[in-house]
Amino acid sequence: MNIPFLDSWRRRHGPDGDAAASPLTAAFDRDPEGVGELLAECELLRARVEESGVALDDSPRSLQELDQLPPRWRDDPEELPWIGNDAGLYLGTVIVRNVPGARWQVWPGGGPVVRLASGREIQVVEAGLDWAMTGAPELYQVYAEAAEQ
């Protein structure tokens, strides 16, 4: 996949990067739709749930199906945080694509959040990590609360 902002970021920053510079923020400022598509990929999550027969079609129903899966990822402590991160990004993608006025927001030095039309921000990555580790809050519950706003 061609991701132009990564090449320019790598030239400006060393291999370790600089969290304060937030290349994601700069990329988001230039191409919010492209960054939104990048955030929606969630490759690891999609691969793992496909093995269980669940299709992630960016619908609220798919969040309900995710909530019902046996949490086999908890057996792998190395994979757990990655699944949680992807689950949060997927949750954000579903909210952005289905809740009117919802959009991605990337703050300097921080990660992506979803900003609702009301101005409320949802820390979707944190919600995804909590869900992956403990099962709560359920992803659909977070979506339903966002849809009510």
Contact indicator for 64, 140 with CB cutoff of 8 Å? yes
Per residue in 115-130, pLDDT (tens digit) is 999 999 999 999 999 9
pLDDT of 25 reads 76
Q: Is the pTM of this model over 0.95?
A: no
Q: Where are the domains of the chain?
A: 36-148
List helix spans (H) across 1-149.
4-12, 23-30, 32-39, 43-51, 60-68, 80-98, 124-134, 139-148
Q: What whole-number distance in Å separates Cα of residue 107 and Cα of residue 25?
A: 6
Question: Quick one: average pLDDT of 125-136?
Answer: 97
Q: Is 24 helix (H, G, I), strand (E, B) or coil?
A: helix
Per residue in 5-53, pLDDT (tens digit) is 444 444 444 444 444 546 777 778 788 788 889 999 999 999 999 989 9
